[in-house]
Amino acid sequence: MTIPKQKTWTGVEATSSDFNNYTGPCPATVDINALAFSSIIRTGTWTPTNLSTCLYGGYNVSDGAQNDALGWDVLLGAGTWTLGLTYRTNTDAGIATVQLSTDGVTFTTVNASPYNGSAGTVDMYAAVAAPNVNTTITGITIGANGIYRLQLLAATKNGSSSSYKLYPQHMHLHRTA
């Protein structure tokens, strides 16, 4: 597979060898559809769910086990990034810990050093289920061009939630500086 040489990658699916062979510029924008992206790295059981009221056609839902995770390998350039996350809330939803890794093994929450983003978690719980909820994490610092694994981890849950399920629909990374 050849990665297109463009500034915005929408739905580009690539393996690590594709990234290693890529010689173009790092993208300024990366879009990830959590439902359709087939190169997802999963921990636990996840089910793609089509729902017409959801932007991007639906969401991916975990089975509710603590520490289930969903990840994507993305090529990021050095600079400051903003992560937009669209998700579905629910009464059984957990809190997503947003993490990055340079090796796919050791993960750091995006609000900790060296990334220093504005937040590190997203509480997907709500008393009434609703699709298309948006949140933004700003100021994520990427120190060097490279392949990073973006991961949503179901480590904790809201005290009112009955489970640790996560319901991501879409993620959007945009370099701001």
pLDDT digits (tens, 9 = 90+) for 5-55: 444 444 444 444 555 566 667 888 888 888 765 567 888 888 888 888 888
CATH of 27-175, one of 3.30.70.580, 2.60.120.260, 3.40.50.2300, 2.60.120.10: 2.60.120.260
Average pLDDT over residues 81-86: 96
**Where along the chain do its domains lie?**
27-175
How many beta carbons lie within 10 A of that of residue 71, not counting itself?
Answer: 21
The pTM of the full predicted model, rounded to 2 decimals, is 0.86
**For residue 121, pLDDT beyond 90:** yes
**What's the confidence (pLDDT) of residue 7?**
40
Q: Reading across the β-sheet that carries 29-33, which strands appear in turn?
A: 8-10, 29-33, 168-175, 79-89, 130-142
**What's the confidence (pLDDT) of residue 21?**
60
**For residue 3, pLDDT beyond 50:** no
Tokens of 10: 């929408």
Q: Is 150 exposed, middle or buried (0-12, 13-18, 19+ CB in 10 A)?
A: buried
Half-sphere exposure of 136 (CA within 13 A, CB side): 6
| Sign (positive or negative) of CA dihedral 109, 111, 116, 117 | positive
Question: pLDDT tens digits, residue range 125-176?
Answer: 999 999 999 999 999 999 998 889 999 999 999 999 999 999 999 999 999 9
Rounded Cα distance, 103 and 58, in Å: 29
**What's the confidence (pLDDT) of residue 19?**
55
How many beta carbons lie within 10 A of that of residue 91, not counting itself?
Answer: 15
